[in-house]
């Protein structure tokens, strides 16, 4: 009996020592990419797909040290002293995420791994996030069936209107498929704010027809590119008559030196407030153009955005449109020899009364300024500089970036 008790004690002692050894052999800490910020806009926009550039070979290849969700934004950095350690990582439920678990093996000893459980986000809740707020997330880790404890991290949840469009090389993670490393270009995120299905667009198009500039929106079913520009002019006139004005407000509360982001109003917000900054105006115009089947693209240069549109379905010809010119008080038109050909043709087609009105003067100036910039920065747009981007909305849609769903509430 005494001998049996000694064996039991010995077994318990061995188990206790192995538990201590297992805990001591493990190093882990919670991690959060995007400078410890959570962008509801990015989570919703990329819920089903994450765009990868065709020439980004590293992003296409699997990383053996990145486990779980390929583009996971929250997870744990973990290292174990032994080979083939069996690990279980659990993300506890919080206001924006349901509980989720990842289980697997760390094959190599003393190597850094990043484990990102597949997060089950509460999308309806994310869509209502209109103010920045802190969020505590909690992780629990087990190794070889033994608890390694629980740890916490605090994130800043950004507004749904905050659009991340670039990440600097200051962001360092174990390996995030080159998405975070380097000066990552994620300008395609702006495409999610372009909503060609927004219910208010029909009202704008009715008002555009009411200008009598055109009597229908045939899109590209016209022979003359000038008639495509004429349709865009009718939309411009309708918005200007609504009192839409340029607002230079671009401040994004809680900004980051690591993640570049921009506050973007939804279409209904711009129309209700009758003001739009360069990004707001660009996504508003792009939305309306796509509604009438005129292909458009967003143009970003350092500190600014405007919109461009194609003059035909083959996309061989295009012009720029500087949306900040809308509602300008000091509008004046100067005819130039180097004006885009469709603008020259349309100018001749319009009667003198329309050409003398403010709507035409601001529109013609907007075409001139936007088209001039496209020519001026042609080489930069063709380079790899993430500050200069042409965001083709057809391409963004084909990659899976869909519009944010309209909600009548906040």
Judged against a pLDDT cut of 90, whether residue 333 lies above it is answered with no
331 shares its domain with 208: yes
pLDDT at 274 over 70: yes
Q: With cut-offs at 50, 70 and 90, classify the pLDDT of residue 1.
A: very low
What tokens were used for 188?
Answer: 């395609």
Say how far apart CA 236 and CA 242 lie, in whole Å.
10
Res. 409 pLDDT band, cuts 50 70 90: low
Q: Is the pLDDT of residue 332 over 90?
A: no
In the block, tokens 């069996």 appear at 86
Nearest CA among 85, 86, 94, 83 for reference residue 32: 94
Mean pLDDT of 228-255: 82
- Does residue 306 have a pLDDT over 50? yes
Out of 184, 209, 241, a domain closes at 184
pLDDT in tens, 19-64: 445 556 899 999 998 899 999 999 999 888 766 555 555 555 778 9
User: What CATH code is carried by the domain that includes residue 148?
Assistant: 2.60.40.10
Mean pLDDT computed over every residue of the chain: 86
Cβ atoms within 10 Å, residue 210: 12
Domain total in the chain: 2
Asked if residue 64 is part of any domain, the answer here is: yes
Residues 161 and 242 in one domain: no
Say if residue 308 is in the same domain as residue 340.
yes
Give the contacts of 351 (CB within 8 A, at least 6 positions apart): none
Per-residue exposure over 260-278, b if at least 16 CB sit within 10 Å of its own CB, e if not? bbbbbbbbeebbeeebbbb
Instruction: Indicate yes or no: pTM above 0.75.
Output: yes
Mean of pLDDT values over 172-186: 45
Look at 8 and 325; give whichever has higher pLDDT: 325
Q: Last residue of a domain, which of 184, 217, 239? A: 184
Q: Give residue 250's domain range.
A: 189-398
Domain finish residue from 138, 162, 184: 184
Please indicate, yes or no, if residue 196 is contained in any of the structural domains: yes
Mean pLDDT on 181-193? 77
Whether residue 221 is found in the same domain as residue 120:
no
Residues 208 and 151 in one domain: no
Q: Each residue of 121-156: pLDDT tens digit?
A: 999 999 999 999 999 999 999 999 999 999 999 999
Q: Domain for residue 252, yes or no?
A: yes
pLDDT of 213 higher than 50? yes
User: Does 119 share its domain with 67?
Assistant: yes
Burial label, 302 (beta-carbon count in 10 A; 0-12, 13-18, 19+) = exposed
Same domain, 69 and 160: yes
């Amino acid at each position: 009996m005494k001998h049996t008790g000694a064996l039991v004690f010995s077994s318990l002692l061995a188990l206790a020592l192995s538990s201590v050894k297992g805990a001591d052999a493990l190093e882990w800490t919670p991690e959060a990419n995007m400078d410890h910020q959570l962008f509801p806009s990015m989570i919703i926009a990329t819920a089903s797909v994450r765009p990868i550039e065709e020439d980004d070979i590293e992003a296409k290849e699997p990383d053996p040290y990145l486990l779980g969700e390929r583009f996971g934004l929250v997870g744990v950095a973990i290292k174990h002293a032994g080979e083939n350690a069996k690990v279980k990582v659990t993300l506890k439920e919080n206001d924006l995420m349901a509980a989720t678990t990842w289980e697997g093996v760390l094959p190599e000893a003393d190597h850094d791994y990043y484990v990102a459980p597949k997060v089950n986000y509460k999308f309806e809740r994310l869509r209502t996030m209109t103010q920045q707020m802190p969020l505590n997330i909690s992780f629990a880790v087990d190794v070889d069936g033994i608890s390694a404890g629980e740890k916490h991290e605090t994130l800043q949840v950004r507004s749904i209107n905050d659009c991340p469009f670039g990440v600097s090389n200051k962001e360092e993670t174990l390996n995030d498929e080159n998405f975070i490393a380097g000066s990552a270009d994620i300008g395609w995120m702006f495409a999610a704010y372009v909503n060609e299905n927004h219910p208010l667009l029909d009202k704008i198009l009715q008002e555009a027809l009411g200008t009598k500039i055109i009597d229908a929106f045939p899109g590209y079913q016209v022979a003359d590119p000038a008639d495509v520009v004429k349709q865009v002019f009718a939309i411009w006139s309708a918005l200007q008559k609504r009192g839409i004005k340029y607002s230079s407000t671009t401040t994004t509360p809680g900004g980051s030196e690591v993640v570049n982001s921009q506050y973007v109003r939804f279409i209904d917000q711009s129309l209700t407030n009758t003001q739009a900054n360069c990004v707001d105006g660009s996504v508003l115009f792009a939305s309306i153009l796509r509604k009438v089947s005129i292909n458009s693209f967003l143009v970003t240069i350092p500190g600014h955005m405007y919109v461009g549109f194609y003059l035909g379905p083959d996309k061989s010809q295009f012009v720029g449109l500087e949306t900040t010119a809308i509602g300008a008080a000091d509008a004046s038109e100067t005819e130039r020899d180097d004006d885009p050909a469709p603008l020259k043709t349309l100018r001749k087609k319009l009667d003198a009364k329309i050409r003398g009105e403010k709507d035409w003067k601001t529109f013609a100036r907007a075409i001139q300024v936007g088209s001039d910039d496209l020519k001026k920065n042609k080489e930069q747009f063709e380079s790899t500089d993430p500050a200069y981007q042409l965001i083709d909305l057809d391409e963004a849609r084909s990659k899976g970036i869909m519009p944010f769903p309209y909600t009548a509430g906040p």
